[in-house]
Amino acid sequence: MPYITMECGKLTTEQKENLISRLTETASEATGIPPEFFMITIKELPDTNMGFGGKTVEKTKREYLKK
């Protein structure tokens, strides 16, 4: 049974449903494995627990919104 996990920031229920649907559809098409065999999990991380470019995502978002 294929297992796909996605780690990201906070998502709405609608975004999660869309992501699960699209990941399943794309992976099924790419592998030829029926969609019902895919398991998808989404791990939400706080913006203070992720960073890039030496800054937390929280700080990057604040700076972006000031523009």
Encode pLDDT of 36-60 as tens digits: 999 999 999 999 999 999 999 999 9
Whole-model pTM: value is 0.79
At 14, is the pLDDT very low, low, confident or very high (cuts 50, 70, 90)?
A: very high
Structural domain boundaries in the chain: 3-66
Which CATH code, of 3.30.429.10, 2.60.40.420, 3.10.20.30, 3.90.25.10, is assigned to 3-66?
Answer: 3.30.429.10
Burial 15-36 (b: 16+ CB within 10 A, else e): eeeebbeebbeebbeeeeeeee
